[in-house]
């Protein structure tokens, strides 16, 4: 069901045509050019958003602003123009980010558009994560070999995984999914070179690794799989100094490996997934996202830009549909 609750249309003066029978003051329409838009609003998984959506449409030539609310989609919005046909559409839902983009109504007057809304991280109550036994094998082994993680000392394996809060668990799942999906020419993945976790945060983890990972990452630059970036913003782990830092070539959601080295030739790595304003660019969200990288936003970027599933979903508050 779609409720149209505001429409104001003022075409160019030479094309104004009063609605037969007398329209409300200030409302003019060219009835010959009336068109409609079939709107579908989905999540990053491509399934319909299960919340009412508010829609704002602004014609970029006419002074025409239209607002509508749909309790579900697909929904048809009527009263649009085929000439001029360019609109800015803004779509919002209670637990999702507001998205804005430009659309064109075709000459036949039957427009269609699918809008993807990323989740608003501030509205997430919990995540539904895979059990320890269902983790990627290398991720499970990494947890089993990590017995001295900062603030989780003497925990390892399933006990360590269970002790993680939702933000750290989401960050770990994002990173292990991306690292497991990043493969070198020798057939091994980045994740297979990580030997022990030292610290887990929502946006990154610090871990012990082997010199082989550093070597393979450097070699991967010639294959255009990684490129070197500044390490200035990455603080080394205690007892280590900065070495080199690299990123994958992804446009959005690229994996960054910042290496640190000690006097014994041992390496640690700071692994994170770079947002680089990708959240705003991919989804064209209206509100600027500031502050530290949020793992829930990275989840949405990986799914939307790389079709990479980190293995967890969000539990959102129930929204009561209202007219």
> Residue 312: pLDDT above 60?
yes
Average confidence (pLDDT) over 86-113: 96
Positive or negative: CA dihedral 46, 47, 51, 56 = positive
Q: pTM (2 decimals)?
A: 0.86
Residues in the chain: 323
> Residue 277: pLDDT above 80?
no
**∠284-287-293 over CA atoms, to 5°?**
90
Residue spans per domain, the chain: 2-117, 122-315
Q: Write out the two tokens for 97.
A: 């980010």
Which among 220, 65, 105, 208 has a CA at the least distance from the CA of 148?
208
Residue 97 is predicted with a pLDDT of 95
> Residue 243: pLDDT above 90?
yes
pLDDT confidence of 291, banded at 50, 70, 90? low
Comparing 66-70, 229-233, 243-247, which segment has the lowest mean pLDDT? Answer: 229-233
Q: What is the pLDDT of residues 206-236, one digit of tens each?
A: 999 999 999 999 999 999 999 999 888 888 9
Instruction: Write down the residue that tokens 């399933």 correspond to.
Output: 158
- Cβ burial of 213 (10 Å; 0-12, 13-18, 19+) is buried
Residue 276 is predicted with a pLDDT of 61
Mean pLDDT of the chain: 88
Return d(Cα 322, Cα 70) in angstroms, integer: 10
Average confidence (pLDDT) over 129-138: 98
Return d(Cα 64, Cα 239) in angstroms, integer: 64
Residue 289 is predicted with a pLDDT of 63
Q: What is the pLDDT of residues 156-183, one digit of tens each?
A: 999 999 999 999 999 999 999 999 999 9
Residue 278 is predicted with a pLDDT of 63
Residue 72 is predicted with a pLDDT of 93
Instruction: Write down the residue that tokens 């010199």 correspond to.
Output: 211
Comparing 24-33, 137-146, 224-233, 273-282, which segment has the lowest mean pLDDT? Answer: 24-33
Average confidence (pLDDT) over 185-204: 97
User: How much of the chain exceeds pLDDT 90, in percent?
Assistant: 76
Residue 290 is predicted with a pLDDT of 62
Superfamily of domain 2-117: Immunoglobulins (2.60.40.10)
Residue 274 is predicted with a pLDDT of 83
> Residue 21: pLDDT above 90?
no
8 preceded by cis ω (within 30°)? Answer: no
> Residue 302: pLDDT above 50?
yes
> Residue 263: pLDDT above 60?
yes
> Could you count the other beta carbons within 10 Å of the beta carbon of residue 124?
20
Return d(Cα 125, Cα 316) in angstroms, integer: 6
């Amino acid at each position: 069901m779609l409720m149209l609750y505001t429409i104001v249309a003022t075409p160019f003066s030479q094309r104004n045509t009063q609605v037969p029978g007398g329209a409300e003051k200030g409302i003019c329409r060219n009835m010959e050019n009336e068109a409609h838009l079939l709107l579908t609003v989905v999540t990053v998984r491509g399934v319909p958003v299960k919340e009412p959506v508010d829609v704002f449409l602004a014609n970029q030539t006419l002074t025409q602003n239209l607002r509508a609310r749909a309790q579900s989609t697909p929904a048809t919005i009527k009263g649009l123009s085929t000439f001029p046909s360019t609109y800015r559409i803004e779509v919002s839902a209670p637990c999702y980010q507001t998205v804005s983009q430009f659309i064109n109504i075709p000459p036949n007057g039957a427009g269609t558009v699918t809008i993807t809304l990323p989740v608003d991280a501030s509205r997430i109550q919990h995540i539904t994560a895979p059990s320890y036994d269902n983790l990627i094998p290398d991720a499970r082994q990494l947890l089993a070999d990590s017995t001295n993680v900062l603030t989780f000392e003497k925990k390892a394996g399933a006990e360590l995984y269970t002790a993680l809060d939702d933000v750290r668990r989401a960050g770990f799942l994002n990173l292990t999914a991306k690292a497991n999906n990043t493969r070198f020419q020798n057939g091994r993945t980045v994740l297979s070179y990580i030997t022990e976790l030292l610290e887990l945060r929502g946006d990154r983890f610090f871990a012990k690794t082997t010199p082989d990972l550093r070597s393979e990452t450097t070699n991967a630059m010639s294959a255009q799989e990684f490129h070197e970036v500044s390490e200035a913003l990455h603080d080394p782990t205690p007892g280590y100094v900065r070495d080199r830092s690299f990123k994958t070539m992804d446009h959005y959601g690229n994996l960054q490996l910042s290496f640190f080295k000690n006097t014994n030739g041992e390496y640690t790595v700071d692994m994170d997934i770079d947002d680089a304003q990708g959240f705003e660019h991919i989804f064209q969200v209206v509100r600027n996202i500031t502050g530290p990288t949020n793992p829930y936003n990275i989840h949405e970027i990986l799914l939307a830009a790389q079709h990479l599933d980190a293995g967890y979903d969000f539990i959102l508050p129930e929204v009561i549909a209202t007219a």
